[in-house]
Amino acid sequence: MNFTVLVVDDEKNIREGLGEYLRLDGYDVSLASDGKEGLKEVESGAVDLVITDLRMPALSGGELLKQISSRYPSIPVIVLTGHGTVEDAVDAMRNGAYDFITKPVNLEHLSLLVKRALERKELARRNDELMREIENQKRVSSIVGKSPAIQRIFELVRKVAPTKASVLITGESGVGKELVADALHNLSPRADKPFIKLHCAALAESLLESELFGHEKGSFTGAQARKKGRFELAHEGTLFLDEIGEINQNVQIKILRVLQEKKFERVGGEDSLEVDVRVIAATNRDLKEEIQKGSFREDLYYRLNVVNIHVPPLRERKDDIPLLAQAFLQEFADDNAKAIEGFDPKARAAIYAYHWPGNVRELRNCIESAVVMAASKLISLDDLPPGVRKSADESVVRIPIGSSISDAERILIRDTLAAQGGNKSRTAEILGIGRKTLYQKIQDYGLEAEEPD
């Protein structure tokens, strides 16, 4: 990256002489003959460092320095002072100058100062970037999970969040689609702008339209004042359209138009409003099927589905269950001020074996009620809802088509082990292999880390 140094001095010879020298040093240089011109240059956003004389017409160097240090504190300013004017130098330093240099200018000294100031600035910028990244990771981490499926989703979220691409999040109810939408917004450059959510299924058609696009006063009975719609409120930010599969054709056309033309009118209004909105939508329906049936517009589908993030059901990423269960246990134990440490082996096996048709939401509710029920430090089978409790006796190992023999062996061992609450002797017995062989396989498949005792 090439840095731009601005030299501000009313004396043409000095200005151009310094400029020439700095160019030889490899910087881009811009020149200004007074503070006012200099400030304009700084405001244009293209300046990395300023060297300024103090006494100038229009706007003095001292004034320029004050403006820059209050409005652009990351731009270092080096002040040129006359010989023997110590007060000027002190004043400048007090007002936020990076350093001062006396005239006549020692060019080598100046060159060194500029280099150091820019290095420090670059370091500060990198630090900021790093802090932002850590901040971001904290934000994403409200999504708990370590299965390959969730890892892939993390990766995808990181990749598409910074873009403006529309994202369609699909998956069964309760899998965490809304959390993914949150992460997409929080990791985007729009994070500080509005994040507006609309649950499309909850509203009747006429209300939905006015929620989305707003309405003018008197546009329908009950419209007593002008109201801004969600698209307007989300300007420069993100709009999350939840349950997009539930909206009718009429509203579909209108949303399509906003996506295509970035324009719309309030209900009962004539003026076109222009907005800059990133749209994220979610659905638990199979929209392809809805298109076949004629209930969802294909063109809208393609506009929304620029990137698809599919969140698989919990039963297809069982590796996440122990982690999620533990996270929810901690959350609710804290909420209820109960000192609960974990699950006893049978409870853990049942939670693991259960099919979780309601996905993470159901798991969360289950753990909440278990925490409330629990009478000891460990949650036991009796604390679990009946459906989950029953799965303890009817556990099945599911091996997806497409698995290799070694995949199958890994899943078989993993799930049997979990169903036995981590008891290796019993697991070896059930599998009909020696304990030593089991230990070896557990190590080979890296299962120890996944299902701790």
Ligand X SMILES: Nc1ncnc2c1ncn2[C@@H]1O[C@H](COP(=O)(O)OP(=O)(O)OP(=O)(O)O)[C@@H](O)[C@H]1O
Residues in contact with ligand X by the rule CB under 6 A? 143-145, 171, 173-179, 284, 324, 360-361, 364
Rg of the chain over Cα atoms, rounded to whole angstroms, equals 32
Contact status: 409 vs Mg ion (CB under 5 A): no
Q: Which residue is nearest to ligand X (CB)?
A: 176
Supply the minimum distance, in Å, between the C-beta of residue 248 and ligand X: 19
Q: What is each CA distance from 245 to 15, 168, 199, 286, in whole angstroms?
A: 65, 11, 11, 8
* DSSP conformational letter for 150: H
- Closest CB to ligand X among 7 and 150? 150
Out of ligand X, Mg ion, none, what residue 284 binds, judged by CB under 5 to 8 A for its kind, is ligand X
Which secondary structure element, helix H or strand E, spans residue 175, and what is its range? Answer: none
- Closest CB to ligand X among 127 and 151? 151
Supply the minimum distance, in Å, between the C-beta of residue 67 and Mg ion: 48
CA distance 132 to 121: 17
Out of Mg ion, ligand X, none, what residue 360 binds, judged by CB under 5 to 8 A for its kind, is ligand X
Supply the minimum distance, in Å, between the C-beta of residue 58 and ligand X: 58
Six token digits for residue 349:
């096996």
Out of ligand X, Mg ion, none, what residue 144 binds, judged by CB under 5 to 8 A for its kind, is ligand X
User: If we measure between CA atoms, which residue out of 232, 9, 39 comes closest to residue 110?
Assistant: 9
Out of ligand X, Mg ion, none, what residue 199 binds, judged by CB under 5 to 8 A for its kind, is none
- Closest CB to ligand X among 176 and 421? 176
Residue type at position 165 = A
Helix (H, G, I), strand (E, B) or coil at 6: strand
Q: Which residues contact 228 (CB under 8 A, 6 or more apart)?
A: 214
- Closest CB to ligand X among 360 and 392? 360
- Closest CB to ligand X among 101 and 175? 175
CB 318 within 8 A of CB 450: no
CA distance 115 to 25: 9
Query: How distant is the alpha carbon of residue 354 from its chain centre?
Result: 31
Helix 320-335, helix 359-373: angle, nearest 10: 40
Out of ligand X, Mg ion, none, what residue 115 binds, judged by CB under 5 to 8 A for its kind, is none
The number of residues that bind Mg ion (CB under 5 A) is 1
Q: Which residue is nearest to Mg ion (CB)?
A: 178
- Closest CB to ligand X among 33 and 284? 284
Out of ligand X, Mg ion, none, what residue 364 binds, judged by CB under 5 to 8 A for its kind, is ligand X
Tell me the pairing of strands 77-81 and 99-102.
parallel
Stretch near Mg ion under the rule CB under 5 A, chosen from 89-97, 164-172, 173-181, 271-279: 173-181
Helix, strand, coil tally for the chain in percent (to 5): 50, 15, 35
- Closest CB to Mg ion among 241 and 347? 241
Residue with tokens 């802090």: 131
- Angle made by CA atoms 256, 260, 261, in degrees to the nearest 5: 115
Supply the minimum distance, in Å, between the C-beta of residue 29 and ligand X: 52
For the stretch 422-444, what's the b/e string if a residue is b when 16 or more beta carbons lie within 10 angstroms of its beta carbon? beeeebbeebeeeeeebeebbee
Supply the minimum distance, in Å, between the C-beta of residue 195 and ligand X: 14
Tell me the pairing of strands 227-228 and 214-215.
antiparallel
Q: What is each CA distance from 363 to 134, 148, 395, in whole angstroms?
A: 29, 20, 17
- Closest CB to Mg ion among 246 and 320? 246
- Closest CB to Mg ion among 178 and 319? 178
Out of ligand X, Mg ion, none, what residue 145 binds, judged by CB under 5 to 8 A for its kind, is ligand X
- Closest CB to ligand X among 190 and 317? 317
Supply the minimum distance, in Å, between the C-beta of residue 196 and Mg ion: 15
Contact status: 178 vs Mg ion (CB under 5 A): yes
Contact status: 28 vs Mg ion (CB under 5 A): no
- Closest CB to ligand X among 324 and 329? 324
Residue with tokens 């369609």: 168
- Angle made by CA atoms 26, 27, 32, in degrees to the nearest 5: 145
CA distance 28 to 9: 17
Supply the minimum distance, in Å, between the C-beta of residue 174 and Mg ion: 8
User: If we measure between CA atoms, which residue out of 270, 272, 267, 255 comes closest to residue 223?
Assistant: 267
Stretch near Mg ion under the rule CB under 5 A, chosen from 55-63, 177-185, 244-252, 254-262: 177-185
Out of Mg ion, ligand X, none, what residue 179 binds, judged by CB under 5 to 8 A for its kind, is ligand X
Stretch near Mg ion under the rule CB under 5 A, chosen from 15-23, 70-78, 170-178, 233-241: 170-178
Sites of contact with Mg ion (CB under 5 A): 178
